Amino acid sequence: MIELRGVTVRYGRTVAVDDVTLDLPTGKIYGLLGRNGSGKTSLLSALASFRRPAFGVVRVDGADAFENPAVMRNTCFIRDTLDCNESDKVRQLMCFAGWMRPTWDADYAAKLLDLFEINPRKRASSLSRGQKSAVGVVLGLASRAPLTILDETYLGMDAVARAAFYRELLEDYLAHPRTIVLSTHLIEEVADLFERVVIIDRGRLLLHEETDELRGRGVTVTGPAAAVGEFVAGHTVLGEQSLGGVRAVTLDWHPAADDVARGESAGLTFGPVGIQDLFIHLTSRAERLEATR
């Protein structure tokens, strides 16, 4: 079990992560979602023991993770920039990772380098932005670390390379289960990988749910404006649109079968809300509520 208890990260007077308490059962793929500046990278830095929280603690199996060699040896944190000297060759990075990681698979790393068409003799300075991202993916996946954190690692990769990354991530996770935390803005592309979703907004934990539960959480109700207004009364509205006499309202609610039947008899239609749409509605609503305080 990975536990975050009251984790707060500050940069001077700026609070990047605000009192986050979270349990992450191991052996799952987590999607960490948040808008730009929401505190995702700061939270991941604390989770990976790269940064000591100003307040709170991160524990892995009951042990304080910060400056704990046993925990950090089994944690791999790959950021959106390749952390290395520009003069380093790719093969040197692979050798260094193998020296650091007891779970490193050199054969798998070589396979991934071939997949992404990366020449191991090249220096980091000669790699394109997409190639540097691909090298980060190789370091993250081939580490097979019990806790693998990928912070928008795909940046710069084209659609074909990203699809290969997602495929490899899922296949290798199924063959070698571990805890993977994936931070991303491309929600629709990777939503099917997530087993659990964590959403933070303005440094605060907004949501942590099983993906299947989240998919069934929202509903869009569409129909004549008056009928929609009567049907949605008393429920939490995430967003709405109107065109002429037609109104569409997105609710943070999962209606029962009899509710749907009642709505359909009044001429209403019901549609699911995807994870990306729900994320947009939830974070937009959080912003509106913050502005009214």
- Give the mean pLDDT of 136-159: 93
Dist. CA 16–CA 40, nearest whole Å: 9
Distances (CA, A) of 140 to 19, 62, 75, 103: 28, 25, 10, 11
Confidence of residue 70 (pLDDT cuts 50, 70, 90): confident
Dist. CA 285–CA 209, nearest whole Å: 18
Name, in order, each residue with C-beta under 8 angstroms of 32's C-beta and a sequence gap of 6 or more. Answer: 40, 43, 44, 181, 182, 183, 184, 198, 200
Question: Residue 96 has what pLDDT?
Answer: 92
Instruction: Name the CATH topology of 2-214.
Output: Rossmann fold (3.40.50)
- Give the mean pLDDT of 20-31: 95
- Mean pLDDT (the chain) is 91
Question: Residue 285 has what pLDDT?
Answer: 65
Domain ranges in the chain?
2-214, 218-272
- Residue type at 84 in one-letter notation: C
What is the share, in percent, of the chain residues with pLDDT greater than 90? 68
- Give the mean pLDDT of 231-254: 90
53 has pLDDT over 70: yes
Task: Let me know if 33 is exposed, middle or buried by CB neighbors in 10 A (0-12, 13-18, 19+).
Answer: buried
- Give the mean pLDDT of 28-45: 93
Question: Residue 61 has what pLDDT?
Answer: 86
Dist. CA 286–CA 33, nearest whole Å: 14
278 has pLDDT over 90: no
CA-based nearest residue to 132, from 142, 123, 144, 143: 123
- Over the stretch 85-114, which tens digit does the pLDDT of each residue have? 888 999 999 999 999 899 999 999 999 999
What is the share, in percent, of the chain residues with pLDDT greater than 70? 97
- Give the mean pLDDT of 53-75: 90
Place of tokens 């509605």: 281
Full-model pTM: 0.87
Question: Residue 293 has what pLDDT?
Answer: 55
